[in-house]
Amino acid sequence: MNPKRVTLPLLFAGLVALAGAAAPDPASASQHAVTPDEPDASGDCVAGGGWQGRPMMSRMAGAPVAVAAPPPPAAPPATIEVQASAQAAVAAKSAPMPMAASVLGFAPPMPYAAADRDNYAHREPNGVHLAASDPVSTFGLDVDTGSYTNVRHMISEGRLPPADAVRTEEFINYFDYGYAKPTSTDRPFSITTELAPAPWNPDRQLLLVGVQGYDVPAARIPAANLVFLVDVSGSMNSPDKLPLLKASLKQIVPKLRAQDRISLVTYAGATCVALRSTPGDRQATILAAIDGLGAGGSTNGAAGIDLAYAQAAKGFIPHGVNRVILATDGDFNVGTTGVEALKDRIVQKRRGGVALTTLGFGEGNYNDEMAVTLADAGNGSHHYIDSLDEGRRVLVDEMSATLMTIAKDVKVQVEFNPAVVAEYRLIGYEKRVLAREDFNNDAVDAGDIGAGANVTALYEITLKNTKGARVDPLRYGPPHRLVASASGADGELGFLRVRYKSPEGGASRLIEQPMTTDVAANPSERLRFAAAVAAFAENLRGGKYAEGFGYDKVAELARGARGADDGGYRAGMVRLVEMAGAMP
Protein backbone atom coordinates (compact mmCIF):
# COMPACT_ATOMS: atom_id res chain seq x y z
CA MET A 1 0.00 0.00 0.00
CA ASN A 2 1.32 3.42 -0.88
CA PRO A 3 2.07 5.08 2.50
CA LYS A 4 0.82 8.42 1.17
CA ARG A 5 -2.62 6.99 0.44
CA VAL A 6 -4.00 6.75 3.93
CA THR A 7 -7.26 7.75 5.55
CA LEU A 8 -7.48 11.19 7.10
CA PRO A 9 -7.53 9.90 10.69
CA LEU A 10 -4.31 7.93 10.23
CA LEU A 11 -2.71 10.79 8.33
CA PHE A 12 -3.53 13.29 11.04
CA ALA A 13 -2.39 10.86 13.71
CA GLY A 14 0.98 10.78 12.00
CA LEU A 15 1.09 14.55 11.97
CA VAL A 16 0.36 14.64 15.70
CA ALA A 17 3.26 12.26 16.25
CA LEU A 18 5.48 14.52 14.20
CA ALA A 19 4.41 17.55 16.21
CA GLY A 20 5.13 15.76 19.46
CA ALA A 21 2.07 16.95 21.35
CA ALA A 22 0.92 15.45 24.61
CA ALA A 23 -2.42 13.68 24.57
CA PRO A 24 -5.48 14.79 26.48
CA ASP A 25 -6.68 12.61 29.27
CA PRO A 26 -8.30 9.57 27.54
CA ALA A 27 -11.08 9.65 30.08
CA SER A 28 -12.13 13.09 28.91
CA ALA A 29 -11.28 12.72 25.23
CA SER A 30 -14.89 12.93 24.10
CA GLN A 31 -15.33 16.21 25.97
CA HIS A 32 -12.04 17.74 24.82
CA ALA A 33 -12.19 21.42 23.80
CA VAL A 34 -9.74 22.87 21.31
CA THR A 35 -7.89 25.87 22.70
CA PRO A 36 -5.35 28.22 21.16
CA ASP A 37 -2.65 26.61 23.32
CA GLU A 38 -2.96 23.30 21.47
CA PRO A 39 -0.85 23.73 18.36
CA ASP A 40 -0.97 20.20 17.01
CA ALA A 41 -2.76 18.63 14.08
CA SER A 42 -6.14 17.13 14.80
CA GLY A 43 -8.66 14.98 13.02
CA ASP A 44 -11.84 16.40 14.43
CA CYS A 45 -14.16 15.14 11.70
CA VAL A 46 -17.92 14.94 11.52
CA ALA A 47 -19.78 13.43 8.59
CA GLY A 48 -21.80 15.86 6.59
CA GLY A 49 -21.51 18.87 8.81
CA GLY A 50 -21.82 19.75 12.49
CA TRP A 51 -18.59 19.56 14.46
CA GLN A 52 -18.63 17.71 17.79
CA GLY A 53 -15.23 18.80 19.08
CA ARG A 54 -14.18 15.12 19.30
CA PRO A 55 -10.51 14.28 18.70
CA MET A 56 -10.13 11.14 16.64
CA MET A 57 -6.60 10.47 17.84
CA SER A 58 -4.34 11.33 20.71
CA ARG A 59 -0.74 10.75 21.69
CA MET A 60 0.56 9.77 25.09
CA ALA A 61 3.85 11.48 25.88
CA GLY A 62 6.66 9.24 24.70
CA ALA A 63 4.23 6.55 23.54
CA PRO A 64 3.19 5.43 20.05
CA VAL A 65 0.20 7.13 18.49
CA ALA A 66 -3.12 5.66 19.49
CA VAL A 67 -6.54 6.30 18.04
CA ALA A 68 -9.09 7.20 20.68
CA ALA A 69 -12.23 5.11 20.62
CA PRO A 70 -15.16 7.18 19.47
CA PRO A 71 -18.24 7.46 21.67
CA PRO A 72 -21.30 5.39 20.79
CA PRO A 73 -22.88 6.64 17.58
CA ALA A 74 -25.64 9.17 18.20
CA ALA A 75 -26.46 9.69 14.55
CA PRO A 76 -28.45 7.40 12.25
CA PRO A 77 -26.45 4.77 10.34
CA ALA A 78 -26.66 6.91 7.19
CA THR A 79 -24.53 9.58 8.87
CA ILE A 80 -21.84 7.05 9.77
CA GLU A 81 -21.90 5.74 6.24
CA VAL A 82 -21.37 9.25 4.88
CA GLN A 83 -18.31 9.65 7.11
CA ALA A 84 -16.93 6.27 6.08
CA SER A 85 -17.50 6.95 2.41
CA ALA A 86 -15.90 10.41 2.72
CA GLN A 87 -12.80 8.89 4.33
CA ALA A 88 -12.71 6.12 1.74
CA ALA A 89 -12.94 8.68 -1.04
CA VAL A 90 -10.02 10.60 0.42
CA ALA A 91 -7.98 7.40 0.65
CA ALA A 92 -8.80 6.49 -2.92
CA LYS A 93 -8.38 9.91 -4.52
CA SER A 94 -5.73 11.74 -2.56
CA ALA A 95 -2.72 10.40 -4.46
CA PRO A 96 -0.50 13.37 -5.20
CA MET A 97 -0.68 14.64 -8.77
CA PRO A 98 2.30 16.18 -10.54
CA MET A 99 2.16 19.97 -10.50
CA ALA A 100 1.72 21.17 -14.05
CA ALA A 101 4.62 23.43 -14.95
CA SER A 102 2.20 25.94 -16.41
CA VAL A 103 0.56 26.46 -13.01
CA LEU A 104 3.75 28.17 -11.88
CA GLY A 105 3.25 30.97 -14.41
CA PHE A 106 0.46 32.41 -16.51
CA ALA A 107 0.11 29.60 -19.08
CA PRO A 108 -2.97 27.33 -18.96
CA PRO A 109 -2.69 24.61 -16.29
CA MET A 110 -4.97 22.14 -18.03
CA PRO A 111 -7.37 21.87 -21.00
CA TYR A 112 -10.72 23.57 -20.60
CA ALA A 113 -13.48 21.22 -19.50
CA ALA A 114 -16.23 20.81 -22.07
CA ALA A 115 -18.87 20.34 -19.36
CA ASP A 116 -18.65 23.93 -18.18
CA ARG A 117 -20.79 24.64 -15.14
CA ASP A 118 -19.14 27.90 -14.06
CA ASN A 119 -21.60 30.32 -12.49
CA TYR A 120 -21.52 34.13 -12.83
CA ALA A 121 -24.04 36.70 -11.68
CA HIS A 122 -25.49 38.85 -14.45
CA ARG A 123 -25.39 42.61 -13.96
CA GLU A 124 -26.32 45.25 -16.51
CA PRO A 125 -23.61 47.87 -17.03
CA ASN A 126 -24.20 51.27 -15.45
CA GLY A 127 -26.04 53.63 -17.76
CA VAL A 128 -25.73 57.31 -18.61
CA HIS A 129 -27.29 59.81 -16.19
CA LEU A 130 -28.28 63.41 -16.79
CA ALA A 131 -26.70 65.68 -14.20
CA ALA A 132 -29.64 68.09 -14.41
CA SER A 133 -32.15 65.51 -13.17
CA ASP A 134 -29.94 62.96 -11.37
CA PRO A 135 -26.74 64.66 -10.20
CA VAL A 136 -25.70 62.26 -7.41
CA SER A 137 -23.81 58.97 -7.81
CA THR A 138 -23.25 56.70 -4.78
CA PHE A 139 -21.36 53.41 -4.50
CA GLY A 140 -19.26 51.36 -2.11
CA LEU A 141 -15.57 50.86 -2.76
CA ASP A 142 -14.42 47.39 -3.71
CA VAL A 143 -10.94 45.84 -3.52
CA ASP A 144 -11.70 42.52 -5.23
CA THR A 145 -9.39 41.45 -8.05
CA GLY A 146 -10.69 37.96 -8.83
CA SER A 147 -12.39 38.86 -12.10
CA TYR A 148 -9.15 39.99 -13.73
CA THR A 149 -7.12 36.89 -12.86
CA ASN A 150 -9.99 34.56 -13.76
CA VAL A 151 -10.28 36.20 -17.18
CA ARG A 152 -6.49 36.07 -17.53
CA HIS A 153 -6.76 32.33 -16.93
CA MET A 154 -9.36 31.96 -19.70
CA ILE A 155 -7.56 34.07 -22.28
CA SER A 156 -4.31 32.21 -21.58
CA GLU A 157 -6.21 29.04 -22.50
CA GLY A 158 -7.21 30.56 -25.82
CA ARG A 159 -10.82 31.51 -25.16
CA LEU A 160 -12.68 34.72 -24.49
CA PRO A 161 -14.60 34.93 -21.21
CA PRO A 162 -18.37 35.17 -20.85
CA ALA A 163 -19.38 38.80 -20.43
CA ASP A 164 -20.68 38.21 -16.90
CA ALA A 165 -17.21 37.08 -15.78
CA VAL A 166 -15.86 40.59 -16.47
CA ARG A 167 -16.17 43.16 -13.68
CA THR A 168 -14.44 46.32 -14.80
CA GLU A 169 -13.56 47.68 -11.36
CA GLU A 170 -11.76 44.42 -10.52
CA PHE A 171 -9.68 44.80 -13.67
CA ILE A 172 -8.79 48.37 -12.77
CA ASN A 173 -8.07 47.63 -9.12
CA TYR A 174 -5.70 44.78 -9.89
CA PHE A 175 -3.01 47.36 -10.62
CA ASP A 176 -1.13 49.79 -8.40
CA TYR A 177 -1.40 53.44 -9.51
CA GLY A 178 1.18 54.96 -7.21
CA TYR A 179 -1.07 57.39 -5.37
CA ALA A 180 0.46 59.50 -2.63
CA LYS A 181 0.20 57.78 0.73
CA PRO A 182 -1.50 59.53 3.66
CA THR A 183 0.87 61.24 6.04
CA SER A 184 -1.06 60.28 9.18
CA THR A 185 -3.16 57.35 10.32
CA ASP A 186 -5.66 59.87 11.69
CA ARG A 187 -7.04 59.89 8.15
CA PRO A 188 -6.58 56.32 6.85
CA PHE A 189 -6.36 57.16 3.17
CA SER A 190 -5.51 59.89 0.72
CA ILE A 191 -7.78 60.93 -2.18
CA THR A 192 -6.57 61.81 -5.68
CA THR A 193 -8.69 63.14 -8.52
CA GLU A 194 -7.81 63.87 -12.15
CA LEU A 195 -9.75 64.96 -15.24
CA ALA A 196 -8.60 64.35 -18.82
CA PRO A 197 -10.12 63.64 -22.27
CA ALA A 198 -11.37 60.08 -22.80
CA PRO A 199 -9.08 58.18 -25.21
CA TRP A 200 -12.03 56.76 -27.15
CA ASN A 201 -13.82 60.11 -27.53
CA PRO A 202 -12.05 63.44 -26.93
CA ASP A 203 -15.45 65.16 -26.70
CA ARG A 204 -15.88 63.43 -23.32
CA GLN A 205 -13.77 63.47 -20.19
CA LEU A 206 -12.56 60.78 -17.82
CA LEU A 207 -12.70 61.59 -14.12
CA LEU A 208 -10.39 59.47 -11.97
CA VAL A 209 -11.01 59.11 -8.22
CA GLY A 210 -8.19 57.27 -6.42
CA VAL A 211 -8.15 56.22 -2.78
CA GLN A 212 -4.85 55.11 -1.22
CA GLY A 213 -4.72 53.44 2.21
CA TYR A 214 -1.85 53.95 4.61
CA ASP A 215 0.76 51.22 4.51
CA VAL A 216 1.71 48.88 7.33
CA PRO A 217 4.93 46.86 7.00
CA ALA A 218 4.42 43.12 7.42
CA ALA A 219 6.43 43.14 10.65
CA ARG A 220 4.02 45.69 12.17
CA ILE A 221 0.80 43.88 11.30
CA PRO A 222 -0.94 42.99 14.57
CA ALA A 223 -0.94 39.35 15.60
CA ALA A 224 -3.03 37.36 13.14
CA ASN A 225 -5.46 34.52 13.83
CA LEU A 226 -5.94 32.91 10.42
CA VAL A 227 -8.22 29.97 9.71
CA PHE A 228 -7.79 28.52 6.22
CA LEU A 229 -11.00 26.76 5.22
CA VAL A 230 -9.91 24.38 2.47
CA ASP A 231 -12.22 22.62 0.04
CA VAL A 232 -10.96 19.03 -0.32
CA SER A 233 -13.96 17.72 -2.23
CA GLY A 234 -13.61 15.59 -5.34
CA SER A 235 -14.01 18.59 -7.64
CA MET A 236 -10.71 19.98 -6.26
CA ASN A 237 -8.83 16.93 -7.56
CA SER A 238 -7.16 18.82 -10.42
CA PRO A 239 -3.65 20.35 -10.86
CA ASP A 240 -4.99 23.91 -10.98
CA LYS A 241 -7.02 23.45 -7.80
CA LEU A 242 -5.83 21.63 -4.66
CA PRO A 243 -2.15 21.19 -5.69
CA LEU A 244 -1.94 24.87 -6.62
CA LEU A 245 -3.74 25.81 -3.40
CA LYS A 246 -1.29 23.78 -1.30
CA ALA A 247 1.69 25.35 -3.07
CA SER A 248 0.19 28.80 -2.49
CA LEU A 249 -0.42 28.14 1.21
CA LYS A 250 3.20 27.11 1.66
CA GLN A 251 4.27 30.54 0.41
CA ILE A 252 2.86 32.23 3.49
CA VAL A 253 4.38 29.88 6.08
CA PRO A 254 7.90 31.42 6.19
CA LYS A 255 6.31 34.83 6.80
CA LEU A 256 4.35 33.74 9.87
CA ARG A 257 5.54 34.95 13.27
CA ALA A 258 5.42 33.37 16.71
CA GLN A 259 2.54 35.66 17.72
CA ASP A 260 0.48 34.58 14.71
CA ARG A 261 -1.75 31.52 14.81
CA ILE A 262 -2.92 29.41 11.91
CA SER A 263 -5.58 26.71 11.65
CA LEU A 264 -6.59 24.42 8.81
CA VAL A 265 -10.19 23.29 8.47
CA THR A 266 -11.18 21.02 5.58
CA TYR A 267 -14.56 20.15 4.21
CA ALA A 268 -15.92 17.62 1.76
CA GLY A 269 -18.56 15.07 2.78
CA ALA A 270 -17.05 15.47 6.26
CA THR A 271 -15.63 18.51 7.99
CA CYS A 272 -12.30 18.22 9.80
CA VAL A 273 -9.88 20.29 11.84
CA ALA A 274 -6.72 19.33 9.97
CA LEU A 275 -4.60 21.68 12.09
CA ARG A 276 -5.59 23.21 15.38
CA SER A 277 -4.64 26.79 16.16
CA THR A 278 -0.86 26.65 15.90
CA PRO A 279 1.80 29.33 16.53
CA GLY A 280 3.23 30.63 13.28
CA ASP A 281 6.81 29.71 14.12
CA ARG A 282 5.98 25.97 14.17
CA GLN A 283 6.55 25.77 10.48
CA ALA A 284 7.28 22.05 10.22
CA THR A 285 3.92 21.24 11.80
CA ILE A 286 2.07 23.65 9.52
CA LEU A 287 3.80 22.43 6.35
CA ALA A 288 3.13 18.80 7.25
CA ALA A 289 -0.57 19.55 7.67
CA ILE A 290 -0.67 21.28 4.29
CA ASP A 291 1.15 18.36 2.65
CA GLY A 292 -1.46 15.99 4.07
CA LEU A 293 -4.41 17.56 2.28
CA GLY A 294 -6.05 15.36 -0.35
CA ALA A 295 -9.24 15.64 -2.39
CA GLY A 296 -12.28 13.40 -2.59
CA GLY A 297 -16.01 13.37 -1.78
CA SER A 298 -18.97 15.75 -1.97
CA THR A 299 -18.96 19.39 -0.86
CA ASN A 300 -20.64 20.52 2.35
CA GLY A 301 -19.29 24.05 2.40
CA ALA A 302 -21.84 25.42 4.88
CA ALA A 303 -20.71 22.95 7.54
CA GLY A 304 -17.11 23.89 6.82
CA ILE A 305 -17.93 27.57 7.29
CA ASP A 306 -19.49 26.86 10.67
CA LEU A 307 -16.46 24.85 11.81
CA ALA A 308 -13.98 27.44 10.53
CA TYR A 309 -15.72 30.25 12.42
CA ALA A 310 -15.78 28.08 15.52
CA GLN A 311 -12.01 27.68 15.25
CA ALA A 312 -11.58 31.40 14.66
CA ALA A 313 -13.61 32.13 17.80
CA LYS A 314 -11.43 29.77 19.87
CA GLY A 315 -8.24 31.46 18.70
CA PHE A 316 -9.67 34.99 18.64
CA ILE A 317 -7.03 37.70 19.20
CA PRO A 318 -8.46 40.95 20.61
CA HIS A 319 -7.22 43.94 18.57
CA GLY A 320 -5.58 41.49 16.16
CA VAL A 321 -6.33 40.24 12.67
CA ASN A 322 -9.02 37.57 12.82
CA ARG A 323 -9.95 36.12 9.45
CA VAL A 324 -11.29 33.00 7.78
CA ILE A 325 -9.83 32.42 4.31
CA LEU A 326 -12.04 30.16 2.21
CA ALA A 327 -10.20 28.43 -0.65
CA THR A 328 -12.48 26.62 -3.08
CA ASP A 329 -13.63 26.08 -6.63
CA GLY A 330 -16.98 27.23 -5.29
CA ASP A 331 -19.01 24.09 -5.86
CA PHE A 332 -21.24 23.48 -2.81
CA ASN A 333 -23.54 20.51 -3.42
CA VAL A 334 -24.40 19.22 0.08
CA GLY A 335 -26.14 20.98 2.96
CA THR A 336 -26.93 24.68 2.56
CA THR A 337 -26.09 25.53 -1.06
CA GLY A 338 -28.14 28.65 -1.86
CA VAL A 339 -26.09 31.83 -2.23
CA GLU A 340 -28.51 34.02 -0.26
CA ALA A 341 -28.77 31.55 2.61
CA LEU A 342 -24.98 31.30 2.80
CA LYS A 343 -24.71 35.09 2.64
CA ASP A 344 -27.08 35.45 5.60
CA ARG A 345 -24.94 32.94 7.50
CA ILE A 346 -21.78 34.98 6.89
CA VAL A 347 -23.43 38.28 7.79
CA GLN A 348 -24.36 36.81 11.17
CA LYS A 349 -20.84 35.49 11.79
CA ARG A 350 -18.95 38.63 10.80
CA ARG A 351 -20.57 40.44 13.73
CA GLY A 352 -18.24 38.47 15.99
CA GLY A 353 -15.26 40.35 14.58
CA VAL A 354 -14.02 37.67 12.17
CA ALA A 355 -13.77 38.65 8.49
CA LEU A 356 -13.94 36.34 5.48
CA THR A 357 -11.73 36.36 2.38
CA THR A 358 -12.34 33.98 -0.53
CA LEU A 359 -9.80 32.47 -2.92
CA GLY A 360 -11.13 30.91 -6.12
CA PHE A 361 -9.45 28.10 -8.06
CA GLY A 362 -10.00 26.21 -11.29
CA GLU A 363 -12.79 25.98 -13.80
CA GLY A 364 -15.58 23.74 -15.01
CA ASN A 365 -17.71 24.17 -11.88
CA TYR A 366 -16.35 27.45 -10.53
CA ASN A 367 -19.05 29.33 -8.62
CA ASP A 368 -17.85 32.90 -8.99
CA GLU A 369 -21.15 34.35 -7.83
CA MET A 370 -20.95 32.52 -4.51
CA ALA A 371 -17.28 33.36 -3.87
CA VAL A 372 -17.83 37.06 -4.57
CA THR A 373 -21.04 37.28 -2.55
CA LEU A 374 -19.58 35.58 0.51
CA ALA A 375 -16.48 37.80 0.49
CA ASP A 376 -18.62 40.93 0.27
CA ALA A 377 -20.87 39.70 3.08
CA GLY A 378 -17.86 38.80 5.23
CA ASN A 379 -16.16 42.22 5.03
CA GLY A 380 -13.37 40.68 2.99
CA SER A 381 -12.09 40.49 -0.56
CA HIS A 382 -12.25 37.94 -3.35
CA HIS A 383 -9.24 36.80 -5.35
CA TYR A 384 -8.82 34.17 -8.04
CA ILE A 385 -5.56 32.21 -7.99
CA ASP A 386 -4.49 31.19 -11.49
CA SER A 387 -0.79 30.59 -10.80
CA LEU A 388 1.71 30.20 -8.00
CA ASP A 389 2.89 33.72 -8.77
CA GLU A 390 -0.62 35.02 -8.08
CA GLY A 391 -0.85 32.95 -4.90
CA ARG A 392 2.32 34.58 -3.63
CA ARG A 393 1.15 38.04 -4.67
CA VAL A 394 -2.11 37.73 -2.70
CA LEU A 395 -0.85 35.86 0.37
CA VAL A 396 2.68 37.26 0.72
CA ASP A 397 3.43 40.40 -1.32
CA GLU A 398 0.09 42.02 -0.48
CA MET A 399 -0.38 40.36 2.90
CA SER A 400 -1.20 43.57 4.75
CA ALA A 401 -3.75 44.66 2.13
CA THR A 402 -5.32 41.18 2.05
CA LEU A 403 -5.50 40.65 5.80
CA MET A 404 -5.49 43.94 7.73
CA THR A 405 -8.50 46.26 7.46
CA ILE A 406 -7.81 49.96 8.02
CA ALA A 407 -11.25 51.36 7.07
CA LYS A 408 -14.65 49.68 6.97
CA ASP A 409 -17.79 50.35 4.95
CA VAL A 410 -16.13 52.89 2.67
CA LYS A 411 -18.70 54.71 0.52
CA VAL A 412 -18.17 57.28 -2.21
CA GLN A 413 -20.69 59.91 -3.28
CA VAL A 414 -20.13 62.32 -6.15
CA GLU A 415 -22.50 65.25 -6.68
CA PHE A 416 -22.00 66.58 -10.19
CA ASN A 417 -22.57 70.26 -10.86
CA PRO A 418 -25.32 70.52 -13.54
CA ALA A 419 -23.98 73.92 -14.57
CA VAL A 420 -20.79 72.22 -15.75
CA VAL A 421 -21.63 68.54 -16.34
CA ALA A 422 -24.30 67.40 -18.78
CA GLU A 423 -23.97 63.61 -18.42
CA TYR A 424 -21.97 61.06 -16.44
CA ARG A 425 -21.51 57.30 -16.27
CA LEU A 426 -19.81 55.32 -13.51
CA ILE A 427 -17.56 52.69 -15.14
CA GLY A 428 -17.97 49.41 -13.26
CA TYR A 429 -18.96 48.90 -9.61
CA GLU A 430 -22.34 47.51 -10.65
CA LYS A 431 -22.35 45.17 -7.64
CA ARG A 432 -21.60 48.05 -5.27
CA VAL A 433 -24.04 50.74 -6.47
CA LEU A 434 -25.99 52.25 -3.56
CA ALA A 435 -29.09 54.37 -3.22
CA ARG A 436 -28.43 58.03 -2.46
CA GLU A 437 -29.87 57.73 1.04
CA ASP A 438 -27.61 54.72 1.80
CA PHE A 439 -24.60 57.01 1.97
CA ASN A 440 -25.59 58.40 5.39
CA ASN A 441 -27.02 55.13 6.70
CA ASP A 442 -24.34 53.43 8.80
CA ALA A 443 -26.36 50.21 8.82
CA VAL A 444 -25.75 49.76 5.08
CA ASP A 445 -22.71 47.60 4.34
CA ALA A 446 -20.01 48.67 1.89
CA GLY A 447 -16.48 47.65 0.97
CA ASP A 448 -13.48 47.64 3.29
CA ILE A 449 -9.94 48.83 2.54
CA GLY A 450 -6.82 46.96 3.62
CA ALA A 451 -3.50 48.46 4.64
CA GLY A 452 -1.57 49.76 1.64
CA ALA A 453 -4.41 49.04 -0.80
CA ASN A 454 -5.42 51.53 -3.46
CA VAL A 455 -8.84 51.68 -5.07
CA THR A 456 -9.71 53.51 -8.30
CA ALA A 457 -13.01 54.58 -9.82
CA LEU A 458 -13.54 56.13 -13.25
CA TYR A 459 -16.42 58.26 -14.47
CA GLU A 460 -16.98 59.10 -18.13
CA ILE A 461 -18.55 62.55 -18.22
CA THR A 462 -19.76 64.99 -20.84
CA LEU A 463 -19.35 68.66 -20.11
CA LYS A 464 -22.06 71.18 -20.91
CA ASN A 465 -22.11 72.68 -24.40
CA THR A 466 -19.87 69.99 -25.94
CA LYS A 467 -20.54 67.48 -28.71
CA GLY A 468 -20.14 64.30 -26.64
CA ALA A 469 -23.67 64.05 -25.24
CA ARG A 470 -25.34 60.67 -25.64
CA VAL A 471 -28.84 61.81 -24.64
CA ASP A 472 -30.74 64.19 -26.93
CA PRO A 473 -32.45 67.25 -25.39
CA LEU A 474 -36.21 67.07 -24.90
CA ARG A 475 -38.31 68.57 -27.68
CA TYR A 476 -41.16 69.66 -25.42
CA GLY A 477 -39.43 70.05 -22.09
CA PRO A 478 -38.44 73.47 -20.81
CA PRO A 479 -34.77 74.37 -21.10
CA HIS A 480 -32.83 73.81 -17.89
CA ARG A 481 -32.14 77.25 -16.51
CA LEU A 482 -29.59 76.76 -13.78
CA VAL A 483 -29.38 79.35 -11.10
CA ALA A 484 -26.25 80.14 -9.15
CA SER A 485 -25.63 77.71 -6.33
CA ALA A 486 -25.91 78.92 -2.77
CA SER A 487 -22.27 78.01 -2.18
CA GLY A 488 -21.09 80.10 -5.10
CA ALA A 489 -19.35 77.03 -6.51
CA ASP A 490 -20.67 77.25 -10.07
CA GLY A 491 -17.21 76.66 -11.50
CA GLU A 492 -16.72 73.35 -9.68
CA LEU A 493 -17.03 70.07 -11.57
CA GLY A 494 -18.62 68.45 -8.57
CA PHE A 495 -18.34 67.66 -4.88
CA LEU A 496 -16.75 64.45 -3.58
CA ARG A 497 -17.76 62.84 -0.30
CA VAL A 498 -16.19 59.73 1.23
CA ARG A 499 -17.67 58.11 4.32
CA TYR A 500 -15.94 55.34 6.31
CA LYS A 501 -15.77 53.64 9.70
CA SER A 502 -12.73 52.74 11.76
CA PRO A 503 -11.82 49.01 11.87
CA GLU A 504 -13.40 48.83 15.31
CA GLY A 505 -16.70 50.11 13.92
CA GLY A 506 -18.76 52.84 15.53
CA ALA A 507 -20.16 55.93 13.81
CA SER A 508 -18.88 56.72 10.34
CA ARG A 509 -16.61 59.65 9.53
CA LEU A 510 -16.89 61.99 6.57
CA ILE A 511 -14.31 63.44 4.17
CA GLU A 512 -15.42 66.13 1.70
CA GLN A 513 -13.65 68.02 -1.05
CA PRO A 514 -14.63 69.91 -4.22
CA MET A 515 -13.40 68.86 -7.65
CA THR A 516 -12.16 71.43 -10.12
CA THR A 517 -12.86 71.70 -13.82
CA ASP A 518 -9.15 71.73 -14.67
CA VAL A 519 -8.61 69.34 -17.58
CA ALA A 520 -5.13 67.83 -17.80
CA ALA A 521 -3.49 68.74 -21.10
CA ASN A 522 -1.15 65.75 -20.64
CA PRO A 523 -3.00 62.97 -18.79
CA SER A 524 -0.95 61.16 -16.18
CA GLU A 525 0.44 57.69 -16.74
CA ARG A 526 -1.94 56.32 -14.11
CA LEU A 527 -5.04 57.74 -15.82
CA ARG A 528 -3.95 56.51 -19.25
CA PHE A 529 -3.29 52.99 -17.99
CA ALA A 530 -6.52 52.87 -15.98
CA ALA A 531 -8.38 54.02 -19.11
CA ALA A 532 -6.75 51.22 -21.12
CA VAL A 533 -7.76 48.63 -18.54
CA ALA A 534 -11.33 49.94 -18.49
CA ALA A 535 -11.51 49.86 -22.29
CA PHE A 536 -10.15 46.29 -22.30
CA ALA A 537 -12.90 45.19 -19.92
CA GLU A 538 -15.52 47.05 -21.94
CA ASN A 539 -14.50 45.24 -25.12
CA LEU A 540 -14.67 41.89 -23.34
CA ARG A 541 -18.19 42.77 -22.18
CA GLY A 542 -19.34 43.38 -25.74
CA GLY A 543 -18.14 46.92 -26.43
CA LYS A 544 -21.40 48.80 -25.80
CA TYR A 545 -19.51 51.87 -24.57
CA ALA A 546 -16.16 51.25 -26.32
CA GLU A 547 -17.10 53.34 -29.41
CA GLY A 548 -14.82 51.43 -31.75
CA PHE A 549 -11.80 51.70 -29.44
CA GLY A 550 -10.78 48.09 -30.12
CA TYR A 551 -8.11 45.79 -28.76
CA ASP A 552 -5.37 47.19 -30.98
CA LYS A 553 -5.94 50.74 -29.71
CA VAL A 554 -6.24 49.49 -26.13
CA ALA A 555 -2.89 47.69 -26.40
CA GLU A 556 -1.24 50.80 -27.87
CA LEU A 557 -2.58 52.99 -25.07
CA ALA A 558 -1.48 50.51 -22.38
CA ARG A 559 2.00 50.08 -23.86
CA GLY A 560 2.54 53.81 -23.66
CA ALA A 561 1.55 53.90 -19.98
CA ARG A 562 3.38 50.89 -18.55
CA GLY A 563 5.83 52.94 -16.53
CA ALA A 564 8.29 51.18 -14.21
CA ASP A 565 6.03 48.09 -14.09
CA ASP A 566 7.50 46.24 -11.11
CA GLY A 567 6.61 42.59 -11.47
CA GLY A 568 5.67 42.94 -15.13
CA TYR A 569 1.94 42.98 -14.42
CA ARG A 570 1.20 45.84 -16.83
CA ALA A 571 3.18 44.16 -19.60
CA GLY A 572 1.17 41.02 -18.87
CA MET A 573 -2.04 42.98 -19.39
CA VAL A 574 -0.78 44.18 -22.77
CA ARG A 575 -0.13 40.58 -23.78
CA LEU A 576 -3.65 39.61 -22.74
CA VAL A 577 -5.12 42.41 -24.85
CA GLU A 578 -3.09 41.28 -27.85
CA MET A 579 -4.16 37.66 -27.39
CA ALA A 580 -7.82 38.63 -26.99
CA GLY A 581 -7.62 40.74 -30.14
CA ALA A 582 -6.35 37.76 -32.13
CA MET A 583 -9.26 35.52 -31.13
CA PRO A 584 -12.29 35.16 -33.40
Task: Please write the tens of the pLDDT for every residue from 258-290.
Answer: 999 999 999 987 789 999 999 999 999 999 999
Residue 186's pLDDT is what?
Answer: 85
Ranges in the chain, pLDDT < 50: 1-43, 46-115, 334-335, 483-484
What's the chain's length in residues?
584
- Is residue 106 included in any domain, yes or no? no
Nearest to 325 by CA among 248, 235, 257: 248
Number of domains into which the chain is organized: 2
Same domain, residue pair 237 and 334: yes
CA distances from 313 to 4, 37, 39, 309 (A): 32, 13, 15, 6
Q: Give residue 44's pLDDT.
A: 56
Residues 148 and 294 in one domain: no
Give the span between the Cα atoms of 414 and 195, in whole angstroms: 14
- In terms of DSSP bridges, do strands 421-427 and 454-463 run parallel, antiparallel, or are they unpaired? antiparallel
Confidence (pLDDT) at 303? 84
Q: Is residue 261 part of a domain?
A: yes
Same domain for 548 and 422, yes or no, is: yes
Based on the fold, state whether residues 48 and 17 are members of the same structural domain.
Answer: yes
User: Are 428 and 556 in a shared domain?
Assistant: yes
Q: What are phi and psi of 538, to 5 degrees?
A: -65, -40
pTM of the model: 0.81
For 368, phi and psi rounded to 5 degrees? Answer: -60, -40
DSSP code of residue 141? -
Contact 83, 340 (CB under 8 A): no
Strand ranges for 280-427 from DSSP E? 321-328, 355-360, 382-384, 405-416, 421-427
Shared domain for 303 and 378, answered yes or no, is: yes
Which residue intervals of 49-180 are DSSP H helices?
Answer: 77-93, 146-156, 168-172
Does residue 70 lie within any of the structural domains? yes
**In whole angstroms, what separates CA 197 from the centre of its chain?**
32
Please identify, among 403, 428, 457, the residue that sits at the C-terminal boundary of a domain.
403
Range of the domain at 348: 8-96+218-403
Residues 564, 441 within the same domain: yes
**Could you say which of 349, 373, 403 is where a domain stops?**
403
Task: Tell me which H or E stretch contains 287.
Answer: helix 283-291
Same domain, 462 and 430: yes
Shared domain check, 463 and 367: no
Supply the CATH number for residue 186's domain.
2.60.40.1230
Q: What is the pLDDT of residue 299?
A: 66
Residues 333 and 360 placed together within one structural domain of the fold? yes
Looking at residue 356, its pLDDT comes to 95
